[in-house]
Structure 1
């Protein structure tokens, strides 16, 4: 396979295609990433999403159809109140976990931000294609959904260019395109071991062309006085979600669904998360705990195999 590594979305981007696809297909995928990042990022002062954030409490902002539809989907999911919250921006910016200036904020500052993260305070106007954050200081953050959206867009682009086999790896989001080069056409994908360096697996998933998205506490975190604070926040408390999970992996057709449901699953923990994922058509999940336990949904029984005997299935 042809392979190139790029940098974007705050991580290493790895794109691969099988001939007769060419390097031009890889570069076209990366160009699309850069275009969407320019629209969606909140890690720069200027983007379409930041134009909405800058106008918080002042006026509505009309955005492009791409940005509007993604914000609309993110708001709808946030209003399920299962853990995903696109209005979480003020908390992310306060803690800065994974960025320069990461800190443990004062509790008073955290409590203040809780007044700014209600998704019901995001007002959408389909006719005007506008977004209004009704309180000053509010911020939309699409970090929990944008990678999946972009991965799906690259797949659509590649399919339009005739790419038959490829791997889109956006760091935590893997989207497989077409059949693998193996005789049976199936893919074998390693699931990251949370306590090992990147690309060391705890198990292997055998699958058709699917999206595999993993969210874990090991990618972005802050350690203060021996306490580990990860980057996934509880909208009720303003602090990182407290449970015994190390990671959640979602297997789905579309990467955007993987993004959404890794967040929901992580928030719900194994006890509620496994039954919740089982109810969602076309979704499967792998839950990994900090004490080396692994739980999988029923559809993965014959498709997932542990390769690290430190872990055991429950």
Structure 2
């Protein structure tokens, strides 16, 4: 089947867009324009965006924002208040550690404690009528980085569906959304690689074969800080201010919507293991794969027949 593929720079990474069937270049260009539009609203890595404006007004006044920004920020606030590990206000702590950048360092306990006072998700207000967001304390910082890619991937899929497109791949730098029946295999399933946490990026320890889905991973191997042999990763616990410690190297969630995948990878990573009742009431969550530090692969709602193990140093547990 014919396909069209193009790579773009965006969202702080390389974005790979692929369409199958009879696509034209404008189908990809317009999708990339959507990415640029949402990034201009949500980013905190530019001088100006709606989120930057909210942060600059912290402790001063509410900020009225667009429909898209308001909806995503409100969802981020409500999720943060559930206290399962996700916290859209953890930005001051992330910048304090700065793991993954040249000036990364281990902060003092006093520095961490001071930043923890700026991460309380109840210290903010949202107004549905005016579509305003107000951070009540100066120094608070809203950051949608943990869910923005999922939201944007879902919007691209909506756009391609509106054009009548049936199959495609949306890869937003590790956040993967596989649309429609795969034209690459006779059984029309997609093959999704599970990154080996101990190997260079792109080297997988297993592949999972599933119908159309989103695949989102939370892992401790992408950004780290090594201080005297002690490895600190970038996933911070909003309760302690330190990298969250458990036996997981990664967890990958497969779902209908990419935004759900973003949320649920965080939930499961902080749980550290399968949650017994997880996803039972949500048919749009298809399952998860946990990779442990002691080289075990734990499947939840994923049948073993859907997984091909490629590294015999790992063992699949059902």
**Are residue 190 (structure 1) and residue 193 (structure 2) matched?**
yes
Secondary structure of the residue aligned to 1:141 is coil
Distance 1:298 1:177, change over 3 A: closer
Matched with 1:275 is 276
Tell me how far apart the structure 2 counterparts of residues 280 and 240 of structure 1 sit (CA, whole Å).
30
2:31 to 25, 29, 32: 29
Q: CA deviation at 1:52?
A: 0.4
Matched with 2:7 is 5
Distance 1:207 1:292, change over 3 A: same
Matched with 1:224 is 227
Q: CA deviation at 1:34?
A: 1.0
After TM superposition, the score normalised by the length of structure 2 is 0.94
Structure 1 unaligned segments of length 5 or more: list them.
Answer: none
Q: Deviations over 1:187-209 (max 9, x none)?
A: 11111111111221111111111
2:307 to 289, 301, 304: 304
Contact 1:8 1:34 in 2 (8 A): yes
Distance 1:276 1:92, change over 3 A: farther
Task: Report how many residues are paired.
Answer: 312
Matched with 2:261 is 258
**Are residue 289 (structure 1) and residue 292 (structure 2) matched?**
yes
Deviates more, 1:59-68 or 1:72-81: 72-81
Distance 1:247 1:26, change over 3 A: same
Matched with 1:133 is 135
Matched with 1:202 is 205
Contact 2:289 2:302 in 1 (8 A): no
**Are residue 57 (structure 1) and residue 59 (structure 2) matched?**
yes
Matched with 2:96 is 94
Question: What is the RMSD of the two structures over their aligned residues, measured on CA atoms?
Answer: 1.4
Matched with 1:112 is 114
Tell me how far apart the structure 2 counterparts of residues 18 and 191 of structure 1 sit (CA, whole Å).
24
Tell me how far apart the structure 2 counterparts of residues 210 and 195 of structure 1 sit (CA, whole Å).
26
Matched with 2:157 is 155
Q: CA deviation at 1:100?
A: 4.3
Q: Deviations over 1:220-250 (max 9, x none)?
A: 2222222221111101110110112111100
1:169 to 149, 168, 171: 171
The structure richer in helix per residue is 1
1:67 to 66, 69, 74: 69
Secondary structure of the residue aligned to 2:191 is strand
Distance 1:276 1:99, change over 3 A: farther
Distance 1:300 1:73, change over 3 A: farther
Q: Deviations over 1:144-192 (max 9, x none)?
A: 1000000001101111122221000112211011111122221111111
Contact 1:274 1:285 in 2 (8 A): no
Tell me how far apart the structure 2 counterparts of residues 219 and 43 of structure 1 sit (CA, whole Å).
19
Distance 1:237 1:295, change over 3 A: same
